[in-house]
Structures are given as structure tokens and as C-alpha cells.
Amino acid sequence: MKTLLKSTTAIAIASVLASCGGSDSGNNSSADGSGGTQQTSTSVVTQGVITGFGSVYVNGKRYRSENAEIKTDEAGNATDSDLAIGMVVSVRAQTAEGDDPEASEIDYEETLQGAVTLISTTAQTLEIMGQQVSYDEVTEFDDVTIDTLAIGDLVEVSGYETDSGFYATRIALETDEQVYKVDGDVAALDTTAKTFTINDLTVDYSQATFEQMSEADLANGSGVRVEGDSFDSTTNTLVASEVKSTEKSVDEEVDELEVAGVVGNYDAEAGSFVIAGYSVTLADTVEFEDGAMADLANGARIKIEAERVDSAWVVDSVEFLHERVTGKTEGTVTAVDADTQTIVIHDTEFQVTDTTRFKDESDAELRTFTFDDIMVNDVLKVIAKNDAEGNHIALKIKRLNDEDKDGELEGVATDIGDDRFTVQGVVVIVNESTEVEAEGTDDPMRLLALLASMEEPRVEVKGDYDGDTLVASKVEVKTEGDDDGEQHHGEVEVKGSVAEVNGEAFVVGDYEFHLVTEAELEIDDQSVDLQAFVDALEVGVTVEVEGEWQDAGYVIVHSAEIKTASESEGGDDTE
């Protein structure tokens, strides 16, 4: 839904436009000498997520890239093959009416690079160098999955800064360089000690060189990018070798700006905010999509379109990017409609949009895979959300080999019977071996009655296929708290290093765990009793823990395993 807004700030901008005869951008038509007009090109800068290839799709828009200069943080002379789905890039392009924009420059720099110190699969967060990184089903994982990611792995994160850290659009293992990198806003600046903080990370800049800024330019709130070769995990301190400004000035040669990111420094009275380093102001009449003025706030994830007016960016379009996953399915395509841009899997219709991300993981490995390549009988995995009208909107589509289906579904349980229910058109069988996570029961034989008593119960299912039927190994009943990001109820799954030990209690990250005699305990895959486990607990050891939140604010351990250094480094003695 789209809404329009007139603001007092915008009225002032409109006056500027009227007094100067409109924008001084070079996108106006001019006389061609024959009584008609000659369309001139418009210079545009776009920043956002790569959603596909052939040439390069950013924020769902195609940019011809055959003549573009491509640069990454690791390669000044890169090629299209160095780019990947989920990367946040900046594109400089020229566009004319009726043509796809032609990119002249495509730049990529990762948002964060460092070692993983905490993994919470229930909260869908990682901790890297004191930065909290959130991920979801839309996040692209390269060369690793959330299940294979290990404490100590060096990863490259691309995404957006948030109030609490980062939202990751892509996470990849980093094997080429042992360099630490982080983007963020300066806080707690100490010019005597030559330190500042970015969230929970301390940066020592005493040995750093400065790029696009000087040391004197450092100030609390300024946006910077820090690189260094030395990181002390004990004190959470990065010794910077380089500090670079990430704040962007207005380029007089650029006419339009299209940026996706997170709102910061929002001033409602002035109608101004910062997004991806750009300072922008709302225009006279602002068009809002999938939201309204009341939804605009620090931390909101949006996409804007803006025009340059004199030396300011003026926003005329704001789209709210609500990407909360409500559905997940996989199966064979039974219908494709090119006119409506829809596909059907298990009798469920999915709508494809400009921002749907595509990736081909089948044997075909088609890099330029898009909607146009989908055919009946293709096997797809679809991550989706529901819009206000209840339509299934595809956020991400992956083409698979049939044998590579992972047996994971999410959605509303329907057609609930004595031993089965249906999710996203797939029949799910529940038996005595099914593990159940639900408020009120963990008994698989009582699960169906619970689901039947609920209004539109949403479930997440894991299992193995028996033909077209999924035999559930685990069923989790989602609650309202799950949708709101509530982390202090229900089940907990965490990997991390022990920060504190107090008898039969220990701390990992922000989680306090309490051991009980009933817990299943292991050290390097060998079962041990409670005392042996407590004896092996010490600060710095890596543990994997499953448990359940208690009202008192701690987690009772159901199972836990200590990973020694050799085990956590993959020491299986195989040569």
C-alpha cells in the first residue's frame, strides 16, 4: 500500500525548487533542433543487495555490467565472477528512459570480518568481535551453513548496520586473508589513549593511518571503517592499521540516489536521517510503500529514492523492507505463469517480485538463474513472507537437485489429523520419535491436539521425505514471542566460549546456564557424568548447549558438550 505525505520541511524544499526552476540535475530533456526533445542520460548511484546476475541485479533492478569497473575489498581489478548473491554493493550508472542502467563502477566492501565467538541458533544471532550479527532464512551462506559454522571460524559478513550491530545479507568463510574489519559509529572517543569503541569492540588507533579523513576528524557518532591485523579476544581490542571515513558527501555529478539500508540519526521535526552513510531529507510529497510516516524510525530497514537538489539529497520515495519469514517449502514446480510472475508448488502459489533473490544450486549451476529460467518439474526451495492480503511473496528461490532437499518446512499447520498435518501443501507425519518444542507439551502424541486447539498455528518442521510425505523428526510450534524476537522464553541452542564458571553454573555470552543431574553431558563425543563435566569446565573452553529458559532469567541445561581444542579444530586424525 502506498501513502503520500506533505511536511513543513518539504514545503521549504519545494520553495527552493521553485526559486531555482527545479533541480540542476542533468536529467532534463533538451531541444534537439527539430522541434522535438532529446533525452539526456541521468547519473545514478545505487547501494543495496545483489539479488541476481545477467548482468547484475541490485535491489531487484538490472544494471548492465559488461563495461563496468568492478572493485572488491580484496581485488582492485575484479570481475563479475568475484561478486555473489547477498553482497551489498555500490553501483554508479547512467540511465536513459526505456533502457536498463549501464554501470560504470561496481564496488564491494564487506561490512564485518572477524572470528565467530558465539552462535545462537534460537535467537538467530552471531557474535563477532563484540558485534551482534543477526541473520535469517533470507541470509545467504557461502561455503558454510549455520550448522557447520564453528567457534573461531573467520567469516566475512555483508549487510547493514543496525542499532544493536548488524543484519547479515551474506555470511561466508574467509580463507584468503587474516585481516579484521568492521564498519560502525565511533563512541567513547579517548584522544589521550587513542581509543574508541564500536558497540562492544575497543579500537586502538595509535598505529593507524587515516583515509578520506584525518585523526582530527574523529568524533563520537562519526561513521568509520576500521582494519587491523591484531585482535585480542580477551580484551576485545582491535589494533587498527587503517581508519577510513564511511560518511558520503553529495557528488555534484550524480543526479539520483537509490539506497537500501537502516535508518539512523532520525530527526522527525527536520524530516532528516542517515542511511548507508548518506544524509538525506524528506521531500515535499513523499510516497511511502508498505508502511507510513509513523513507521519511520531509527533501525527501520528501508529503500529510498532521492534526487539531488543543489547540495542535498531529497527523498521522494520510501519503501519499508519487511522480510520476516512466514513460510518455507521445497518441492516440484507444477505451474509457472509469466504474466503474473507466479509459481505453484504443492498447490501453493508464490508471487515473485523485483527483490526476490535467485540462486541455482542444482547440477545446472546457472549463474544467471532468474524467474525466466524456472520450468515445470524444477525442484525449488522457496523462502516467503505473507503480505497484508495473505499472498505468499517469494523472498528467495533456490533451484535444487531432488536429492538435495533438506526436509525443512515452515508455515501454518492445516488439515490436522490423528497423526499428521499439512504445511505449505506438504503432508507431515508425526510419530513417537518426533521431538516437539511447544509451550504446554513436548509429547508428540499430544501435539496434534494442541495444534487443533490453536488458531492458525505456525510451525517449523524438520524431517525426512518418504515419497512426497515428510516424516517429522522435530516440530517447533512458533509463538508470538518468536516473531517479536523475544529471546528469554522457550528453547535455547548456543555455541560459544565459556566466560565464567561458578560451580555447576557457567556463562556463555549473555547466557547463564545451570547444570542438572538429568542433563545429557559429553566431552568430545564421549558421555560423562555431571562431576566430570564440571571438572572440565573452565574459562575459554568451547561448549555447545541446549536448554530452556527459566522465569528467573537463566537457562536449565538439557544437553551440553565440551569441545577441546583438537576437537573444535576438526582433529579427526584422518590423513
Per-residue pLDDT of the chain (575 residues; tens, 9 = 90+): 555 554 444 444 444 444 444 444 444 444 444 444 555 788 999 999 999 998 899 988 999 999 999 999 766 788 989 999 999 999 999 987 778 899 999 999 999 999 999 999 989 999 999 999 999 999 999 989 999 999 999 999 999 988 778 999 999 998 877 899 999 999 999 999 999 999 999 999 999 999 999 999 999 989 999 999 999 988 999 999 999 999 887 788 899 999 999 998 899 999 999 998 899 999 988 999 988 999 999 989 999 999 999 889 999 999 998 777 889 999 999 999 999 999 999 999 999 998 899 999 999 999 999 999 999 999 999 999 988 888 999 999 999 999 999 999 999 999 999 999 999 999 999 999 999 988 878 899 899 999 999 999 999 999 999 988 999 999 999 876 554 444 566 789 999 999 999 999 999 998 999 999 999 999 999 999 999 999 999 999 999 999 999 989 999 999 999 988 655 544 333 33
Q: Which residues contact 345 (CB under 8 A, 6 or more apart)?
A: 329, 330, 331, 332, 333, 334, 380, 382, 424, 425
Name residue 306's amino acid: A
Do 161 and 111 contact (CB within 8 A), yes or no? yes
Query: Cell for 274?
Result: 542517515
DSSP string for residues in 38-88? EPPPEEEEEEEEEEEETTEEETTEEEB-TT-EEEESS-TTB-GGG--TT-E
Q: Which residues pair with 428 in a beta bridge?
A: 421, 470
Query: Cell for 48?
Result: 543495496
Report pLDDT for 304: 95
Phi, psi of 19 (to 5 degrees): -70, -30
* Consecutive H or E run containing 14: helix 8-20
CA distance 27 to 223: 31
Residue-wise pLDDT for 410-462, tens only, equals 999 999 999 999 999 999 999 999 999 888 788 998 999 999 999 999 999 99
Question: Across the chain, which distance is largest between two alpha carbons, in Å?
Answer: 92
CA distance 330 to 352: 15
Kindly tell me the burial class for residue 91, based on how many C-beta atoms sit within 10 Å of its own C-beta (0-12, 13-18, 19 or more).
buried
Report pLDDT for 484: 47
Closest to 385 in 3D by CA, of 175, 551, 136: 136
Report pLDDT for 571: 38
441 DSSP assignment: B
Write down how long the chain is: 575
Q: Where are the beta strands (DSSP E) in 256-311?
A: 256-262, 264-267, 272-275, 278-289, 301-309
Closest to 112 in 3D by CA, of 184, 46, 59, 43: 184
188: number of Cβ within 10 Å: 11
Q: Is the dihedral of CA 29, 30, 36, 41 positive or negative?
A: negative
Q: Any idea which residue has 522480510 for its cell?
A: 323
Name residue 54's amino acid: G
Query: Cell for 486?
Result: 523475544
Report pLDDT for 8: 45
Q: Which residues pair with 261 in a beta bridge?
A: 302
Report pLDDT for 26: 45
Residue-wise pLDDT for 396-414, tens only, equals 999 999 999 999 999 999 9
Q: Which residues pair with 170 in a beta bridge?
A: 140, 158
Domains delineated in the chain? 1-22+41-164+250-323 (no CATH), 180-245 (2.40.50), 327-398 (2.40.50.320), 408-483 (2.40.50.320), 491-568 (2.40.50.140)
Measured between its terminal Cα atoms, the distance across the chain in Å is 60
Kindly report the three-state secondary structure assignment for every residue of 175-232: CCCCCEEEEEECEEEECCCCEEEECCEEEECCCCEEECCCHHHCCCCCEEEEEECEEE
Do 139 and 132 contact (CB within 8 A), yes or no? no
